[in-house]
Chains A and B, each alone.
Chain A
């Protein structure tokens, strides 16, 4: 059975199943969400208005048998935070279940004429719409539990918290994990507000009895996924007892801090004296000491063999929160001058519950501290902001709009954003390579937009000297293109680590995609396919009004020296403009 597009029109409360148009048939995941947004969303529309759409797409290989770590769901639309195209992806249960229902994508469009909130249930028999009035105002921990109590077969629950209901620009889309907790977020860019603007509080997906995922070439798929699996299991970063397995993503806290690249107290320093206390090492020490349901190795979606997630327990061993990512611990901790891991666990829980992206939330709090509304290090004040946001107080709504809105309200000019989106946990003045990606990616400042890839594997071997600063533009483009491809596969982006060093894994990734889809491709095609995706995204942004002036880091980073290295951002505008010059140069 060929895959279909499920179009849900909230204006008419009608669902239709459509064959995939030829122009979209070769896309999955991010490639598909961006293609649909590019084709169907007016770049000049208001993100919260009737002409924006939320597109949800599992990756190419999601739902296929034994594809390792392949449970990523892409969410796309025009971002209320950046005003440009957005793809944010999440782990959790949704990707494989949507794929196994035979769906390449779900397009959520229109707005309910009655102004009501809706709960949508999707299974093999079709789509049901229910009044969600009883769910309005509830946090995602409660919503997830209610949905599993109501529906059988442990379905995927895609929902928004109160922040999405208020249509604030830092609203994420929550997806439940295998334990039915809401720690998995398509967090960045405010797509939760786009979902809220469609009048949808929650979508429940049950794949029971669905057609499953057909393999176009089972032999090729099996060969490819075995190569990829072997690479993941062999590499020091992703194997059992490797870096991700042992300490999770927060393994980076102490390293980035030692390097002088940890943004601290509102990007005013590159080292935080309390970093060790909020690091992955500290988290694991507590997990081991407390026992109970706490675990260092947790799969955020079925079939993940890297298991970089964890469950952080209370002191009595009961579940507290999953998961304290590096970005989360940094944004809510070091960036706010707070070195208390229990506070960070609570703040993470609050973000998960009300539906905030933790990176943007921590940056907004740091701006509030910079602006004198709070003091750096004020844990109680920081936690109170979540109450304010949940209750929709005036200041809560401002902070729920994100970093730039908070800065404007408080008269702060040191605003660490690009295209309206706050920077993640890597100081571009100290780690210059990532600054190029922050500046130029169509997504706004995003650490996942240009991921690690081995130049020799990506087909640019011999052209890139890792110690040469002159070709960071070309390197960033290669990173961004490879990332756009991986974001389309359904594989977790962390497969980038092993396939950097193991060429067989790189080839296996492409072969597994070819095996599922029947699209002819090898590892040599990855960058060119990724560039096609980037081109759509870039052209959408240009049509929305973006220019090269939007591909810049904040002014203060050019003027203020960052300790301990006392460096400024020095990349020239001409070099930055080279990253996407090819869009209009290539036919």
Chain B
């Protein structure tokens, strides 16, 4: 079976799942066709402990949502996962690039919030 390398950064307390304190950056080998769910399982990160999540600078998830778990990963992807202690006010994310799944999820919520 082929494998892929995913460059992963864990920020805040999540870094402890990869041996860091508040920052951990590691290249992880996963099976081909792996997803964000597989990556979080690799580290043992509880799904409800993640907040913002990026794949290749595309916002794929928000605090309080689970929109990214089935996002597929490919070799060389860059993933950043943030803890619930992180914050990103609306003004500073207005207009950034988002995944189709997150876009649809936010549309269902209707209005803008800092936390869902």
Contacts and interface: CB of A to CB of B under 8 A. Distances in A.
Contacts of A432: 94-96
A244 B23 contact: no
Interface string B82-96: 101111111111111
Contacts of B26: none
A255 B52 contact: yes
A251 interface: yes
A279 interface: yes
Given A466-B111, A501-B114, A501-B115, A237 B94 contact: no
B56 interface: yes
Interface in A232-283: 235-237, 241-244, 246-247, 251-252, 254-256, 258-261, 270-271, 276, 279, 281-282
A500 B84 contact: no
A397 interface: no
A433 B94 CA distance: 5
Contacts of A276: 9, 11, 23, 25
Contacts of A454: 111-113
Sorting the interface of chain A by its residue count into under 10, 10 to 19, 20 to 34 or 35 or more gives 35 or more
Contacts of A426: 92
A236 B91 contact: no
A50 B97 CA distance: 49
A500 B90 contact: yes
B54 A236 contact: no
A175 interface: no
Interface in A211-242: 235-237, 241-242
Contacts of B15: 281
A62 B95 CA distance: 35
A497 interface: yes
Interface string A511-554: 00000000000000000000000000000000000000000000
Contact of B96 (A241, A251, A430): A430
Contacts of B28: none
A246 B114 contact: no
Contact of B111 (A237, A256, A452, A456): A456
A439 to B, nearest CB: 13
- Give the interface centre of A236, A244, A432, A501 by most chain B CB atoms within 10 Å: A236
B50 to A, nearest CB: 13
Nearest to A245: B85
Interface string B30-44: 000000000000000
Contact of A237 (B25, B93, B114): B114
A46 interface: no
B87 A236 contact: yes
A279 B96 CA distance: 20
Contacts of B12: 246-247, 281
A454 B11 CA distance: 27
Given A259-B54, A431-B94, A451-B89, A254 B111 contact: no
Given A242-B87, A259-B54, A276-B25, A434 B114 contact: no
A204 B92 CA distance: 37
A469 B84 contact: no
A472 B112 contact: no
Contact of A450 (B57, B91, B96): B91
Contacts of B93: 259, 431, 433
Contacts of A98: none
B57 A466 contact: no
B103 interface: yes
- Give the interface centre of B11, B85, B94 by most chain A CB atoms within 10 Å: B94
A540 B85 CA distance: 42
Given A260-B57, A479-B91, A255 B86 contact: yes
Given A426-B92, A432-B95, A259 B59 contact: yes
Given A281-B12, A564-B56, A252 B88 contact: yes
Contacts of A469: 95
B114 A500 contact: yes
A394 interface: no
A210 interface: no
B108 to A, nearest CB: 11
A472 B90 CA distance: 13
B8 to A, nearest CB: 11
A79 to B, nearest CB: 23
A496 interface: yes
A245 B21 CA distance: 17
Contacts of A555: none
Contacts of B96: 259-261, 430-432
Contact of A433 (B57, B82, B91, B106): B91
A251 B106 CA distance: 23
A317 interface: no
A236 B57 CA distance: 24
A224 B115 CA distance: 23
Contacts of B92: 252, 256, 261, 426, 431, 434, 447, 452
A432 B52 CA distance: 19
Contacts of A466: 90, 94, 106, 111-112
B91 A434 contact: yes
A135 interface: no
Nearest to B115: A236
Nearest to B90: A452
Contacts of A451: 89, 91
A56 interface: no
Contacts of A479: 91
A285 B87 CA distance: 18
B47 interface: no
A438 to B, nearest CB: 11
Given A237-B115, A281-B11, A564-B57, 8 more contacts: A236-B87, A243-B86, A252-B87, A259-B93, A432-B95, A434-B95, A455-B111, A565-B57
4 closest A-B pairs by beta carbon, nearest first, are: A433-B94, A432-B95, A243-B87, A260-B57
10 contacts: A235-B114, A252-B92, A258-B54, A259-B57, A276-B25, A285-B21, A433-B91, A450-B91, A452-B91, A466-B106
